[in-house]
Structure 1
Amino acid sequence: MTDQKSPPRAKRRGRETMRQAIRQAMLDELVEHGYGDVSIEGVALRAGAAKTSVYRYWPTKEDLIIDALEHVLPSPEGHESAGRIRDDFRAAARMMARSLAEQAGNVLMTLVAERRRHPAVAEAVMERLIRPRQQAMLELLRQAAARGEITAGSASAIPVLVGSGLLLQHFMHHGTAPDDEQIDEYIDQAVMPLLVRPEPSGPQD
């Protein structure tokens, strides 16, 4: 008699196709069950993969979670400045809003809610997902300072934290990501006032 709890026999498929199925299964399991009740066995069963296949690529549950999220979040690398820092913030905020509107938003909120019970995974999310994207935005601020658009002192983490924090707060309070008009309002009322323009040079007394 076949064990009813055994995972279905995996179909022949390419390695990357299988890995993507496992990543998606992890995201689905997180949304449905929460971090504490997710198991590699359950993920493998959902993906139609062997448990050994999961462990071959991801030694821990945290590794799989981070990798799955990295594949659905915008990459922090390769962002080129539009030449105006307001446009840079708008582009970054809109990408973040699109991610929040999709499954990644619910997954991130699930992990944030588990922070006190499972601090290791919350710190992994911060270290490997959130901070690299904050650093990418900070680099755009530094470029704005270098071209004289803002002062060097304005190129700090504070505007980045304010901008991303407002988007997350909006998502937590409303259950939806802000639209473009709301994003512009947040940037113009909360972020841009933090970015000080250099004083124009004038004749010396």
Structure 2
Amino acid sequence: MRVPERRRGEALVRAIHEAALVEVAETGLGALTMEGIARRAATAKTVLYRRWPTTHDLLIDALAQAYPVEVPSPGLDDLRGDLIAALTLLTDWMQTLAAGAVLAIMSERHRYPELTDDLYRKVFDPRGGTFTTTVLRHYADHGQVDPSRLTPITTQIGEALVFKLSIDLARQPTADELAAIVDEALLPALGL
């Protein structure tokens, strides 16, 4: 019988993060335990406690690592394409275990307000808040978009419409629908 190779460093952290996301998907936030995560990651519970004091700390760390980052085109020559790419990144991410864990947190924000606060403070806010904000700020910083147009409403339009269509259609928006969100709502709201 072959003994599995012992994981260390980043390989072990990735396994623990994945185990935490799977555990939330299968058991829910209320039943999330260090024991369950450790068992799923095939490691000792003490390994988890050395790095994360609570399951919520571990979960937030896993979400921070799994949350995608927008990368606007460096040439500042395709705002429309960069916005569509950001919304595509969102729809791809919405199909992941991390998105399911975020949904679990948001669904139970009344039970876990500190966890929700940490989600915003440690995961969403450092990346700009929404999936189009990084692109919009990049273009605004370089004079391509009027910064005064980047309001709490305009920076959420794309994301909000993706969520609305996903709920209404019971599926992810298509590439054409994402382009329509950009062309018919987001760009006009920016005065472009």
TM-score class, shorter-chain normalisation, is 0.7 to 0.9
Decide which of 83, 90, 100 is 1:106's aligned counterpart. 100
Could you say what the CA RMSD is over the residues aligned between the two structures, in angstroms? 2.5
Contact 1:44 1:50 in 2 (8 A): yes
Shift of 1:24: 0.8
Per the TM alignment, residue 176 of structure 1 is displaced from its structure 2 partner at its CA by 3.7
Matched with 2:182 is 187
- Equivalence for 2:62: 68
Match of 1:42 in 2: 36
The superposition leaves residues 144-186 of structure 1 with CA deviations (integer Å, 9 ceiling, x where unpaired) of: 3455543332133322211122223334455543232221122
Q: Could you say if the C-alpha distance between residues 178 and 101 of structure 1 is closer, same or farther in structure 2, counting changes exceeding 3 Å?
A: farther
Residues 72, 175 of structure 1: alpha-carbon distance in 2 compared, 3 angstrom cutoff: farther
Distance 2:31 2:176 in 1: 38
Counterpart code for 2:154:
P
Aligned equivalents of 2:148 and 2:126: distance in 1?
21
Decide which structure has the larger Cα Rg and report it: 1
- Count of aligned pairs between the two proteins: 188
Q: Report the TM-score when normalising by structure 2.
A: 0.83
Structure 1 residues without counterparts, runs of 5 or longer:
1-8, 198-205
Contact 1:66/1:129 (<8 A) preserved: yes
- Alpha-carbon distance in 1 for matches of 2:11, 2:33: 21
1:55 matched to 2:39: no
- Residue 125 of structure 1 is matched in structure 2 by 119
Q: CA deviation at 1:143?
A: 4.2
Structure 2 partner of 1:85: 79
1:164 aligned onto 2:164: no
Change (3 A) 1:62 1:80: farther
> Secondary structure of 2:80's partner?
helix
Separation in structure 1 between the aligned mates of residue 118 and residue 108 of structure 2, nearest angstrom: 12
Mapped contact 1:62–1:124 kept (Cα < 8 A): no
Match for residue 26 of structure 2?
A: 32
Of residues 93-102 and 145-154 in structure 1, the stretch that sits farther from structure 2 once superposed is: 145-154
Measured in 1, the distance between the counterparts of 2:19 and 2:83 equals 32
Alpha-carbon offset, residue 50 of structure 1:
0.7
User: Judging changes above 3 Å, is the alpha-carbon distance between structure 1 residues 70 and 52 closer, same or farther for their aligned structure 2 residues?
Assistant: same
1:35 to partner: Cα distance = 0.8
Native 8 Å contact 1:100 1:171 kept in 2 = no
Q: Deviations over 1:91-130 (max 9, x none)?
A: 1111111111222222221111111111111111112222
Q: CA–CA distance in 2 between the matches of 1:174 and 1:40?
A: 37
**Alpha-carbon distance between aligned partners in 2 of 1:15 and 1:87, rounded to the nearest angstrom:** 37
- Ranges of 4+ aligned residues in structure 1 off by more than 6 Å: none
Q: TM-score, normalised by structure 1?
A: 0.79
